[in-house]
Structure 1
């Protein structure tokens, strides 16, 4: 049995509305197929355009096997390149972010323009044609400051997602934002466990006291929708009357979802007291209580938008049992630290929540790696969101492995 067939057989072992079999969380062959069938084929969230405000600014990330550099060009365009010199493959951009006049390989000083063209390669002789050795581009798309990258030869359609998500994000004016704080947390768990944990709040009561000062999961939007409760509908009506799209929009395949939910009574932000963490607003709706706009896009990101700030989360697998979770707190560009916001107050809830989730994921990884582990059933009340994610994963992998 070849490896594709073996992984497909494992996926087909999964019982409906149950967790995945053990090997799908830990086996190196499964991880290899996750990379090849999902991470190397889908649009992956890289960062925000306002992190690359000036020409020469760049950020880097690792998408499975592919090191990528995203660069603001001299013409203002944001481009993505495979971060491997065309000489002997060294990384050209070696830091997580920076600013340069040109892209210079640290190994032999081959020098590339910000649009990827090779400008200089010493000692290569008269027969060498620099035009043949520019940096290899990767697909790059931008929607409301979100930079997405795809390393596939042919990228999937981006328009459907752009058209769905942009009306929700546009009122939050992210193009006028900055990163107030960034957290990078390595979780010793499979990337699917990280996303499963994110997609349910069944665990929240016993784990997230800081978050529950303001956040209330709405079960009617946690999965694929269901009966809408009157409080949610009233919240949608009020926000939409103020010009903020709010009603649930979900991709037919289940890959992305956007919706707005109310926070707990009296809370308007993710803070210990529920009060704003930042002076001023992202939106100009005039509606004081807009709750939280939530959007996810598998496999790499979930996001929260409040009235005063927003959070973007990026998930990147680093191995079968290791995942990097990057969180960025976004505030208005003109907000001043120490005057308009305090970093500890702004970040306290989600720094605590992320670390609590890390421990949950790592405990789960230890448990599902046991030979005694058997997949259990999902709650039909509280785990429709995690079931929806696992359904998407199984359907996507089955379609691609069965081809």
Structure 2
């Protein structure tokens, strides 16, 4: 674990509007500090609600040292637990997702209800109290049809993002969507490089030929600007707002999350090679050319809400130089593959874009690994979103240094 004084020195040495210095992308101690100060304190996107279509459906994730399982109970409620048996610590669920009537430990078959209660433990001594050995809960909340978890003992307030995200995404009918496809890739790059790459489109024209057929890479739309400085952005926001679609730029006071609706290029209505719809229009959307509602929540998710489908992205740190990226495509629950939508057509743009971004991030990491790396300046025009993310990151880490309890000692 990096000591507080060393971390404070590194933070103080950062140059405004410049990339971070090498240790922030490579050092194991700084990676541990990121986990302690951010990932173990903040709300983390875990899974789309659509991934829990029935009782017993579960999703697992590895949040740093914490294995977590999220499961829908028989009462319909989605809950999260530490994915650790209360007997001898075995992981209960090892698959990324699945369905189970009960959560059964594969080691000695201790059996838990989907609400976390211990139901059965074979041959335990007299006086054993099953009620004291239920699964340890993890804080769980839902916003925009997305399940967030927090392992902190005292989570930060989540009500404001819930209210805003639910209002903006209500026309998309998040409770009536299903999973059409999900991809899972490992990018050999630090998690911050994955987020930085997402927060700018300076690289898009040179890296994303499929995406740029429909996605508007105008920096006044996709950076930290409110999109109204772009005539196209302002016209789109006003048109959508007039139709009852919340669209105006909204960002939290600490800039951890943001919502804004932006237009596609020309007459495009979806992320497809020809710009036409990939799936049936979602019933709550007033028109097809509503562009995309962009929602990010640091440290681990960005999302696109379209008139015909929704894209959720989840980033999790794996090591100082590895990150997992999971992408989930959601369509209306009544849409039938092969009849109402073609899966290849629905997914091909972002499957290509994700792989292109993977290569970008990995080459970025390979260069930063060099002792010759020296942080360069960001473009205020093209990389305002990256500046905003880095400012948020540094402010969060400085608060952690000022409150050492957030940085656990080894």
* Distance apart, 1:221 and its partner CA: 4.3
Structure 1 residue runs of 5 or longer lacking an equivalent are none
Distance 1:21 1:233 in 2: 37
Distance 2:299 2:82 in 1: 20
CA contact (8 A) 1:242 1:285 kept: no
SS where residue 344 of structure 1 aligns?
helix
The worse-fitting range, judged by mean Cα deviation, of 252-261 and 221-230 is: 221-230
CA offsets per residue over residues 74-117 of structure 1, 9 Å max, x none?
Answer: 11111100000001100011211111111110001111111111
Quote the residue 1:230 is aligned against: 231
- For residues 137-216 of structure 1, what are the structure 2 equivalents within 5 Å? 137-216=137-216
Quote the residue 1:101 is aligned against: 101
TM norm structure 1: 0.97
SS where residue 55 of structure 2 aligns?
coil
- For residues 210-289 of structure 1, what are the structure 2 equivalents within 5 Å? 210-225=210-225, 228-278=229-279, 280-289=280-289
1:291 aligns to 2:291 (yes or no): yes
- For residues 318-397 of structure 1, what are the structure 2 equivalents within 5 Å? 318-397=318-397
SS where residue 68 of structure 2 aligns?
strand
SS where residue 29 of structure 2 aligns?
helix
* Distance apart, 1:328 and its partner CA: 0.5
* Distance apart, 1:345 and its partner CA: 0.7
Quote the residue 2:408 is aligned against: none
CA contact (8 A) 2:18 2:377 kept: yes
1:90 aligns to 2:90 (yes or no): yes
CA contact (8 A) 1:187 1:325 kept: yes
Quote the residue 1:54 is aligned against: 54
* Distance apart, 1:385 and its partner CA: 0.6
* Distance apart, 1:286 and its partner CA: 2.6
CA contact (8 A) 1:218 1:261 kept: no
1:303 aligns to 2:279 (yes or no): no
* Distance apart, 1:16 and its partner CA: 0.5
Quote the residue 2:23 is aligned against: 23
Q: Provide the aligned length of Structure 1 versus Structure 2.
A: 402
CA contact (8 A) 2:288 2:308 kept: no
* Distance apart, 1:169 and its partner CA: 0.7
Distance 1:375 1:2 in 2: 21
C-alpha change, 1:283 and 1:372, in structure 2 (3 Å) is farther
* Distance apart, 1:218 and its partner CA: 3.6
CA offsets per residue over residues 219-239 of structure 1, 9 Å max, x none?
Answer: 234343266122211111111
SS where residue 81 of structure 2 aligns?
strand
Distance 2:108 2:323 in 1: 32
* Distance apart, 1:326 and its partner CA: 0.2
* Distance apart, 1:215 and its partner CA: 0.3
Distance 2:190 2:51 in 1: 28
C-alpha change, 1:204 and 1:224, in structure 2 (3 Å) is closer
CA contact (8 A) 1:248 1:259 kept: yes
SS where residue 202 of structure 1 aligns?
coil
Distance 2:165 2:146 in 1: 11
SS where residue 149 of structure 2 aligns?
strand
CA RMSD, aligned part only? 1.3
CA contact (8 A) 2:293 2:305 kept: yes
SS where residue 85 of structure 2 aligns?
coil
1:32 aligns to 2:32 (yes or no): yes
CA contact (8 A) 1:292 1:306 kept: yes
SS where residue 370 of structure 1 aligns?
coil
Distance 2:201 2:2 in 1: 38
* Distance apart, 1:301 and its partner CA: 0.4
Distance 2:211 2:224 in 1: 23
Quote the residue 1:313 is aligned against: 313
